[in-house]
Chains A and B, each alone.
Chain A
Amino acid sequence: MMKNNNLLKVRNLVVEIEGKKILNNLCFDIEKGEVIALLGPNGSGKSTLAKVIAGDLRIKLKQGEVLFNEEEVSKFSPEKRVSAGIVLAFQNPPSVEGLKMVDFIESIKVKEGFVDDKLIQREVNKGFSGGEKKISDLMQITSLDPKLVILDEIDSGLDFKKTEEVAKIIKEYFIDKGVAILIITHHGEILDLLKPTKTNIIIDGIIVGKDEDYKNVLKTIKKYDYEKCRKCTKFLSAE
């Protein structure tokens, strides 16, 4: 009997915000332990997809299913999805003034995670630089026990050194331990460090192409820009 490796199956997702289709009948799969990249231009629906999977209740699903380990989770609360193993690192997490990182992590902790000694005594994301916010989110989610980690623009606004630091934590705490990763990125620099096995392109709320070689995808985007990717099937297999 073949082993079932499906972790996440997203089927025919439709999300409309103020009459505009943000996700347009989107389908998407991730297998257990896979490292997947999702690239797309601004406004293509990347972050909306991340939030829908992680359970942001402010986004209403018009149509579609989110299956996680064969279970339909789209009606689950965000905390129930965390228990199931879905965790999101935010693109721009809010600050929670008056709440120290150490106390916050203590209240959510399932296991020992990554700790940055400089940030642990500070209030959650208060006055944090872009890089510190990414580290803050990684401190939080490494102390949980995820099966799928969605990294929403984890490399945006980071210099190369910080990107390396972030990638090292992701590899050590997730990839090396068989946790599946969905890397959502705009420019793709972190892909060289995390080496995804599949890379997808999203435009106007739909996956328009994918390739097993992320370098091919990056090359295509560099050459033709995102808008031309829809028509470009030379490097990308059609969905």
Chain B
Amino acid sequence: MITKSAENAPNFYQLNNEIKNIGSIYGAEIMPSVLAWKKFSFTHELFFKKPKQGFFLWVKKSVSFPLHTLIEIDSKNISQEMSNLIIIEKDINVKLTSSCLSKKEVKGKHLALAKIIVKDNSTLDYTQNNSWKKGDVFTAHYEFFLNKNSKLKSKIVNQSDGASVETREDVYLLQKKANADLRIKMIASNGGEFFSESYMHGEDEVKGHLECSGLITNKDSKIVSIPGIICNSNKAELTHEASIGKISEEKLIYLRMRGLSEEKATELIIKSFLNS
């Protein structure tokens, strides 16, 4: 079903294995990846592989409101295999939020392969929210390609409430004055496990910063985070930082000494970690 997008409604919404809604966007094309593969042969070399599911977003003009895609699972034993391709044409500013989640404990499987291409002089403000529950298996690989004078500001938030999560991000700063700031936040709770690799590749006179931070909320959870910077040019300026920690007891006591219950204080600390 194709409808005209309301500002807050997702522009692409898939529940389990059914596409529930695709909203038309002035200045952009959005469609299932399967259709894009048939319609545009140039996508064949851009998709990771021939898609079975997923969306193709092709932004040709600046869009005045944030774009949003939403992929959910709410039924048992669903397996999703998303191949997403996002192309931002030249001289455009876009804000995009993508969310993938399970709404309850359903032992879902979600594989996401995404390529995001930002062309010359364009800026992408990209937020990816992934939230998975006990028994879910989430595997993702995001690749970002930044061309001349393009800019990426991205925050990827992965929450595992007992789920097994394996992710990889690669940001390729391909051409002069490309600039990327990628922040990855991980929250592992209730036995949640992460294996996360993130790399920033600098190929020219570019700037990139990678930050990976993890919060473990109980002793049964685990985070492995491997951030890396790969520099192929003496003109590239790349930095990274990483940290994993538990909920600070000092902060928890501080908030509780302001009258908040332990549960509410923990909730606020997690929320503040995601916002920082």
Contact = CB atoms under 8 A, between A and B. Distances in A.
Interface of A: 54-58, 77-79, 81-83, 87-88, 90, 93-94, 96-99, 104, 107-108, 110, 123-124, 140-141, 144
A79 B250 contact: no
Interface of B: 248-251, 253-262, 264, 268-269, 271-276
16 contacts: A77-B262, A78-B256, A82-B257, A83-B259, A88-B257, A94-B248, A97-B272, A97-B273, A97-B276, A98-B272, A98-B274, A99-B272, A104-B258, A107-B260, A108-B260, A141-B258
Q: Is the interface of A mostly helix, strand, loop or mixed?
A: mixed
Going nearest first, the 3 A-B pairs with the smallest beta carbon separation are A98-B276, A98-B272, A98-B275
B253 A58 contact: yes
A96 B255 contact: yes
Contacts of B259: 79, 82-83, 108, 110, 144
A107 B272 contact: no
Given A79-B262, A82-B258, A110-B259, 6 more contacts: A55-B256, A77-B262, A79-B256, A99-B268, A104-B268, A123-B272
A79 B269 contact: no
Given A94-B251, A107-B264, A54 B257 contact: yes
Contacts of B260: 79, 107-108
Nearest to B265: A79
Nearest to B261: A79
Contacts of B249: 58
A144 B258 contact: yes
Contacts of B264: 107
A32 B253 CA distance: 26
Contacts of A99: 268, 271-272, 275
Given A82-B259, A97-B276, A107 B254 contact: no
Contacts of A79: 256-257, 259-262
A135 to B, nearest CB: 15
